[in-house]
Amino acid sequence: MQIYSVAKNVLGALGPKVKVPVLDSELKIPAECLRIVGALDAGAVIESGENANGRYIKYADGTQICHGHFYHAFNTTDIFQAIEITYPAVFITDNDISGAAYHESAPGRAMQLSNFASYANYVSLGFSAYDGTPSSTVPVRIRWHAIGRWK
The answer to whether 109 and 131 are in contact (CB under 8 A) is: no
pLDDT, position 94:
76
Q: Which domains does the chain have, with CATH numbers?
A: 2-33 (no CATH), 41-149 (2.60.40.3940)
pTM exceeds 0.75, yes or no? no
Which range has the worst mean pLDDT, 40-49, 92-101, 124-133, 136-145? Answer: 124-133
Per-residue confidence band for 78, with pLDDT thresholds at 50, 70 and 90: confident
- The mean pLDDT value of the chain amounts to 72
Question: Residue type at 114?
Answer: S
Return the H-helix or E-strand segment holding 122. Answer: strand 122-129
DSSP, residue by residue, 59-80: ETTSEEEEEEEEEE---SS-SE
Q: Report, as an integer, the average pLDDT of 15-34.
A: 67
Condensed to tens digits (0 to 9), the pLDDT of residues 87-104 reads 899 888 876 667 666 666
